[in-house]
Structure 1
Amino acid sequence: MWDTFLMAIALMLVLEGVFPFTSPNAWRDTFRKLIELEDGQIRFIGLTSMVVGLIVLYLVN
C-alpha cells in the first residue's frame, strides 16, 4: 500500500516538474495569471482536477 502511494507521489512530482523545467518563462507567466483569479475560480479548478483524477482512478481500477 505505501509503496503504491509513494510511487504515485513520485510520479506526480515528476509530471509537475516537466513544465517548469522545459519552459520556465511560460510557467512563470502562467502563475502570474493564476494570482489574478478569484478564490471561487481557483476552487473550481481544484475541484475539477480532483474529479478528473477520481474518474481516471475509477477507470484504471
Structure 2
Amino acid sequence: MNWWWLIGGVLLIEGLMPLIFTQAWRQTFEKLLQLKDGQIRFIGFLSAAVGLFILWLNR
C-alpha cells in the first residue's frame, strides 16, 4: 500500500469527525484539554502501540 493512501485515509477520517459531529468533537476536545500531561502521553503511547501492532499484523 502506498504511504500517501494511508496518510490520506487518516486525514479523511480525522476531517470527517469535526465536519459531521461538530458539537461532540468540541466537547471531546475540551475534555482532552483538562487531562494531565502524563495522561495525554499514555493515550499517545497506546495509540502508537495499537498502530504499530496493526502494521505488524499486515506485514
- Normalised to the residue count of structure 1, the TM-score between the two structures is 0.89
Q: Does 1:7 align with 2:5?
A: yes
Number of residue pairs aligned between Structure 1 and Structure 2: 59
Query: 2:37 maps to what in 1?
Result: 39
Counterparts of residues 21-60 of structure 1 (less than 5 Å): 21-60=19-58
Looking at structure 1, the residues matched to 10 and 35 of structure 2 have their Cα atoms a distance apart, in angstroms, of 24
5+ long unaligned stretches in structure 1 = none
5+ long unaligned stretches in structure 2 = none
Write the letter of the residue equivalent to 2:40: I
Structure 1 residue 49, shift from structure 2 partner: 0.2
- Normalised to the residue count of structure 2, the TM-score between the two structures is 0.92
RMSD: 1.2
The percent of aligned pairs where both chains have the same amino acid is 46
